[in-house]
Chain A
Amino acid sequence: EAQVTQNPRYLITVTGKKLTVTCSQNMNHEYMSWYRQDPGLGLRQIYYSMNVEVTDKGDVPEGYKVSRKEKRNFPLILESPSPNQTSLYFCASSPKTSPIFQETQYFGPGTRLLVL
C-alpha cells in the first residue's frame, strides 16, 4: 500500500530534550516536506527536500533541522524543543511536479507533540 508513515504518533517531552520524528514514504517520491498545524494558523511549511541531500527552509524553520540521506526518509529533528513547538506535525511527499499535472502531496497521519 502506498503511504507516508510517521513515528511516533504522539509524544510528550520536556523542554530541551532532543527528539526526532521519523517520516518514511514508499512511493519513490522525490519531494518531501514537513508542516506544522496550529489553531488559527493553518498548515505552515517547516522544511522541504527536493531530493536526496537537497533540503531548504520553508516558512517557519527556526528550531528545527532535517536531513535527507535516503530518498524514502525525511526525519525532523528538534535539537532543543521549547513549549512553542507544541503542535501537530505532518510529513508529506509528492513526485516531481510540472505545471501540467496535478501532482498533489500525500500526507502522513500526523504526530501530536506536547513540549512541557
Chain B
Amino acid sequence: GQNIDQPTEMTATEGAIVQINCTYQTSGFNGLFWYQQHAGEAPTFLSYNVLDGLEEKGRFSSFLSRSKGYSYLLLKELQMKDSASYLCAVRPELTGGGNKLTFGTGTQLKVEL
C-alpha cells in the first residue's frame, strides 16, 4: 500500500521561514511533487524531486532523502499569500507511461502578521 504523512496544520509569521515535512512509504518511487492549493482552487505545481538533495526555486526549496522516505518543503520570506494547503505527492511507479500520483492529506499553513 501507499502511505504519505504530513502535519495537518502549521502556523508561521510573515517574513519567517517554515519547513513542511513529508514522509512516505510506497511500493515504489519515481519522483515526489509538492503542490500548493488555495482554498477552493486547483492545486498548482511547486517543485519536483527524484534524486536526493535540495532543489531551489526562488523562495521555495524542496529536499529529498530516498533512503529515509523523507522530503521537506522550505518556504522563505513568508508572505500572507503563502497561506494555503501544501500537498506532498509521490509517483510510486511508471505505469505504462502514465503519471499516477498518490497524495498526502496536505498541510494547512497559516501565515500571521
Give Cα A30 to B33, complex, Å.
20
Question: B30 interface residue, CB < 8 Å from A?
Answer: yes
A45 touches B101 (CB 8 A): yes
Question: A103 interface residue, CB < 8 Å from B?
Answer: yes
> In the complex, what residues of A have CB within 8 A of residue B87's CB?
42-43
In this complex, the interface size class of chain B, counting residues with CB under 8 Å from chain A, is 20 to 34
Q: What is the number of contacts between chain A and chain B, taking CB atoms within 8 Å?
A: 68
Interface segment, one of B13-21, B37-45, B66-74 = B37-45
A31 touches B104 (CB 8 A): no
Interface size, chain A (Cβ < 8 Å): 31
B104 touches A105 (CB 8 A): no
> In the complex, what residues of A have CB within 8 A of residue B102's CB?
45, 59
> In the complex, what residues of A have CB within 8 A of residue B44's CB?
107
Which of B's residues lie within 8 Å of A, judged by CB? 30-31, 33, 40-45, 48, 50, 87, 89, 91, 94-106
Which of A's residues lie within 8 Å of B, judged by CB? 30-31, 33, 35, 40-45, 48, 50, 58-59, 88, 90, 94, 96-99, 102-110, 112
